[in-house]
Amino acid sequence: MPPPGGRFPGHNLSNPFAHLNNPLHQQPHLQQQHQPNLQHPGFGANQGHNINLFGHNQSSFQSNAGIGGGLGGAGLGGAVGIGGVSGGTGLDGQEARMRFAHGAQLQQEAALGRGQDGAKGIAGQRIREVWRSNLHQEMELLRSLVDQFPYISMDTEFPGVVARPIGEFNSKASYHYQTVRCNVDLLKIIQLGVTLFSVQGDVPPPHLDSSQLGYQPKAVQHYANNIVVCPCTWTFNFQFSLEEDMYNEESIQMLKKSGADFEKHATQGIDPEEFGSLLITSGMTLTMDVNWISFHSGYDFAYLVKMLSAKQLPEDEESYRKLVQIFFPKLLDVKYLWRHANNLVRRGVINTQATNILNNLGTKSGLQDLADELGCQRIGASHTAGSDAWLTGTVFWELRKKIFDNVIPEDLNGQMWGLTGVGPPASATAQAAVLAAQGQQSVAGYQGMNGGMMFHPGATATHRGEGPSTPTSHPAGLASTPGPSHGGMMTPGATGAFGEFRYSGK
């Protein structure tokens, strides 16, 4: 006989039998309705029978399966916990519980395989949203997994680009770094997504036996037989206020369309400094054993370095690169790998399959373009950090296999698109000419960075999937800083037609 329904309190969200709170012997008609379901293959019966575990009560199971909306593996908590303790017999035995868990997983997978709803369901199971309330728990889980899954693909979402440096620069790299620097110092990160992969390119399974992990996550919910429900991707949501923080309007609108909840970011977002302190002790940084994978990462790693160091970025690019090398000694940028592969095609030293793939891409170089050509499926919504991180990792492994024959050249380590591999900046003379043509004040006199950067309304938000993170063939645009509380330009020390901000570097 199944365990009595009264065994579980009615409010237990992990209980898929919540609708059976009264003893079955008091409801014989329900007993008759549920009896056929005991022939499910999960209970060792005929394999040809229907996989429906709960008959007409399937919807009740699904409604209880989320475990608070945060845990993957629908219904696993109730499934593997039915026996209560190990060592029982019949339906209370270990084998029966594990078969029941497997049956619940089969039903979950069947329910998820329905078009768009299926894709959304998979994302909900495998991409975990992290807010202030579950930050420590999820970081502990990541700490326990990183030894077995030492490849981390990542992506960030941030409030666009709101400023450009002005003046003459020694090199294009200097210009692009100063653009990254002034924006990252001014702005706040909104989301960070990370996905874990093994050395074979596999993501963590949805159900883990925590006893097999080198580090035991104590704060993580365990079920019977030490089972842990595990995502493969984490989306960290940081404190951000549309009322108080600076941003580019078009970037914010894009994030809103992708589902960003800015009210929740303002009230339940993660403190970046707290996250930095947890990340630096997580085993995911400061080690040659962990490989970070990114796409167009000029800004991504800058925001991470800012959180890890709890300081503004260094004044010069060389000092910044040293910090990146300390925190992330193994780092690969997929877009830089793509550029290197195109150079190999031009030299005729790459295999035929790789040549065909790159020729089909042509000038397209966005993350989704590469994913489509390589046959990689996106899980979740684009322009969300978790989905983009997962897709970045998937594209990396396909690129590694199909383009590089599973061997990435060592000299590509540490190269970040957005700081290298892009065109030269416009000169101060060209900038002044365009501003003069627009009837704006000349910028002559701001040689080098010298703490000078400019803002103006009407800038277009940039994103790594659509083009370079900073201008390459036209004067540096003056970016807007709209905000409901500002009523116009964020221009400390404003003078003339546009504001001037003296960057102190402190």
Q: Smallest Cα–Cα separation from 490: which of 459, 449, 445, 464?
A: 459
The backbone torsions φ and ψ at residue 260, rounded to the nearest 5 degrees and listed phi first, read: -65, 135
Separation CA 449–CA 440 (nearest Å): 20
Question: According to the model, what pLDDT value does residue 219 have?
Answer: 79
Q: Best-predicted range by mean pLDDT among 63-67, 338-342, 490-494, 498-502?
A: 338-342
Q: What mean pLDDT is predicted for residues 207-226?
A: 83
| Within a domain: 4 | no
Beta-strand relationship, 227-229 and 207-209? antiparallel
Question: According to the model, what pLDDT value does residue 167 have?
Answer: 83
| Within a domain: 235 | yes
| Within a domain: 221 | yes
For residue range 182-203, what is the model confidence (pLDDT) as tens digits? 999 999 999 999 999 999 999 9
| Within a domain: 26 | no
Question: According to the model, what pLDDT value does residue 101 have?
Answer: 61
More confident residue, 492 or 133: 133
| Within a domain: 195 | yes
Separation CA 377–CA 111 (nearest Å): 19
The residues, ordered by sequence, that sit 6+ positions from 108 with a Cβ below 8 Å of its Cβ are 65, 73, 74, 75, 125
| Within a domain: 163 | yes
Q: What mean pLDDT is predicted for residues 29-55?
A: 42
Instruction: Output the DSSP codes for 202-237.
Output: PPPPSEEEGGGSSS--TTS---GGGEEE--SEEEEE
Q: What is the dihedral of CA 487, 492, 496, 502, to 10 degrees?
A: -150
Domain span at residue 294 reads 121-412
Beta-strand relationship, 233-237 and 127-130? parallel
Whether the predicted pLDDT of 496 surpasses 50:
no
Res. 218 pLDDT band, cuts 50 70 90: confident
Q: Smallest Cα–Cα separation from 233: which of 70, 14, 66?
A: 70
Which range is least confidently modeled, 97-106, 184-193, 335-344? Answer: 97-106
Residue 38 class from Cβ within 10 Å (0-12 exposed, 13-18 middle, 19+ buried)?
middle
Instruction: Output the DSSP codes for 90-150.
Output: GGGSHHHHHHHHHHHHHHHHHHH-SHHHHHHHHHHHHEEEE-GGGHHHHHHHHHHHTTT--
Res. 120 pLDDT band, cuts 50 70 90: low
Please tell me the total count of domains within the chain: 1
Which range is least confidently modeled, 235-244, 324-333, 340-349, 387-396? Answer: 340-349
CA distances in angstroms from 86 to 105, 121, 216, 426, listed in the order given = 20, 31, 20, 70
Separation CA 198–CA 15 (nearest Å): 32
Q: CATH code at 375?
A: 3.30.420.10
| Within a domain: 232 | yes
Whether the predicted pLDDT of 151 surpasses 60:
yes
Beta-strand relationship, 191-197 and 233-237? antiparallel
Res. 355 pLDDT band, cuts 50 70 90: very high
| Within a domain: 222 | yes
Res. 432 pLDDT band, cuts 50 70 90: low
Separation CA 179–CA 402 (nearest Å): 34
For residue range 239-258, what is the model confidence (pLDDT) as tens digits? 999 999 999 999 999 999 99
Separation CA 347–CA 337 (nearest Å): 15
Q: Which residues pair with 500 in a beta bridge?
A: 454
